[in-house]
Amino acid sequence: MIEFKLIGKLFELDIDELQVAKSLWMLDPMRTSCHLNPGMDDEYTGEARMIIALIRLNVPLDSAVKLTFDQYFWRGALKEEPTQAVIAELSRFQFTTQRTVEV
C-alpha cells in the first residue's frame, strides 16, 4: 500500500484535498487501475481539489462529485454505482470551510 504522507507535500494539498485524493485513488471510480500502481498515487489529485473547492462554495457533495467528473472527463462519465460509492466514502469526512495555510 502506498504511503500518502508525501503526496500532500508534493502537490500542496490541504487535509481535505488529501483525504479526497486518497479516497478517490483507493476507490478508482474511473477504473484506471491506479490503486494497483504506486506511481499513480496522484491520479485523482485535480478532481480532489475541485470537489473540495465546490464543497467550500456550499455545493452539495453529490453535485460536487458529479460536476467534477463531468468536467474532468465527459458528461455522465461517472456511472451511478461508482458515484454512490464515492459519495458514501466522502460523506464520512468533516471538511473544513476554508483552506488553512501554514506559515
pLDDT in tens, 26-48: 889 988 888 888 778 788 999 99
In a domain, 98, yes or no: no
C-alpha cell at 60: 452539495
In a domain, 37, yes or no: yes
Question: Model-level pTM?
Answer: 0.77
Q: What is the pLDDT of residues 75-90, one digit of tens each?
A: 988 887 778 888 888 8
In a domain, 99, yes or no: no
Distance CA 41, CA 87 (A): 20
In a domain, 22, yes or no: yes
Range of the domain at 26: 7-90
Q: Measured at the alpha carbon of residue 7, what is the angle toward residues 16 and 72, in degrees to the nearest 5?
A: 65
In a domain, 95, yes or no: no
Distance CA 76, CA 16 (A): 25
DSSP letter string over 38-70? GGGTTTTHHHHHHHHHHHHTT--HHHHHHHHHH
